[in-house]
Amino acid sequence: MIQKISEYKFLFGELVKRDFILKYKRTVLGLFWSVLSPLMTLTIQIMVFNTFFGSDIPHYTIFLFSGNLVYTYFSEATQSGLVAMAANAPIFAKVKAPKYLFVFSRNISSLINFGLTFLIFLLFVFFDHIPFTHNFFLLIYVIACMLLFNCGMSLILSTAYMFFRDLSYLYNVLVLILMYVSAIFYSVDAFSPIIQRLFLLNPLYVYIKYFRLIVIDAVIPSVQYHLLMLFYSLAALLIGTLLYKKLNHKFLYYI
């Protein structure tokens, strides 16, 4: 895949540019929506949940923002990736090019949006008087893991969507459920140790917790925790690659 992406790097770059431009086409605020939308969501959630959970959680705004940051990136990347190949079927039906390029280009476009929001997140960290330490450089690791995980999940979803169009409706429900089981606006400390360990079965929660440990708690997670994140990322990418490789030759019969 890396070799193919390098071979088609011009096409890949144009796809990323196209996806990014189309997202804000004919909007008044354009690019500012990538920052304004998560801030509006954050404001509403603070108004709703601060009374119930905020008093017991230090730096609750950053706590909530970090959860939203990871969740929104995952949701946007996978939901846009899900329809990527089906939406571009008229192109790859006529042009010889790897079909997964359309999936990965959507993910890179989502990564750019994530990067813009991440800069705002760092501003919030500064204004909340949380000291910046060298540990913050480890956030590069979790972002890389999230990129691989999102690409893998997008490849799985996009491949399945070529055969089962009902998946888009089911996935919207699944993403909503994930928001509530990923401890975005509440802490898992109130649960028993067994339940807390069960949360680690959710990759999204694992990435969110890493952000909070580094930024809020100024703690570097264990080596095992780093390996767990890498495992989820590589497992999703491997499954997505194998599924795509097995089924991509059948796509033309379903467009």
| Tens-place pLDDT, residues 108-160 | 888 988 998 999 999 999 999 999 999 999 999 999 999 999 999 999 999 99
- Which of 6-20, 47-61, 195-209, 240-254: highest mean pLDDT? 195-209
Judge whether residue 175 has pLDDT over 90: yes
In angstroms, how far is the first alpha carbon of the chain from the final one? Answer: 23
Query: Is pTM beyond 0.85 here?
Result: yes
Token code pair at residue 253? 């019969």
Q: What is the pLDDT of residues 69-113, one digit of tens each?
A: 999 999 999 999 998 888 877 776 677 777 888 898 889 888 988
Q: Looking up tokens 């996935």, which residue turns up? A: 171
Distances (CA, A) of 237 to 14, 93, 169: 23, 25, 23
Q: Looking up tokens 């067994």, which residue turns up? A: 194
Q: Please give the pLDDT value at position 57.
A: 83
Q: Please give the pLDDT value at position 249.
A: 80
Instruction: Render the burial of 74-101: b for 16+ CB within 10 Å, e for the rest.
Output: bbbbbbbbbbbbbebbeebeeeebbbbb
Instruction: Please state, in angstroms and rounded to a whole number, the distance separating the CA atoms of residues 132 and 62.
Output: 13
Token code pair at residue 50? 């601060």
Q: Looking up tokens 């909503």, which residue turns up? A: 176
- If you average pLDDT over every residue of the chain, what do you get? 86
CB 26 within 8 A of CB 93: no
Distance, CA of 249 to chain centre: 28
Q: What is the pLDDT of residues 2-41, one digit of tens each?
A: 666 666 677 667 777 777 677 666 665 566 666 777 777 7
Q: Higher model confidence: residue 54 or residue 201?
A: 201
Token code pair at residue 217? 């708690």
Instruction: Please state, in angstroms and rounded to a whole number, the distance separating the CA atoms of residues 245 and 122.
Output: 39
Instruction: Please state, in angstroms and rounded to a whole number, the distance separating the CA atoms of residues 140 and 132.
Output: 14
CB proximity list for 169: less than 8 A, separation 6 or greater: none
Instruction: Please state, in angstroms and rounded to a whole number, the distance separating the CA atoms of residues 182 and 176.
Output: 10
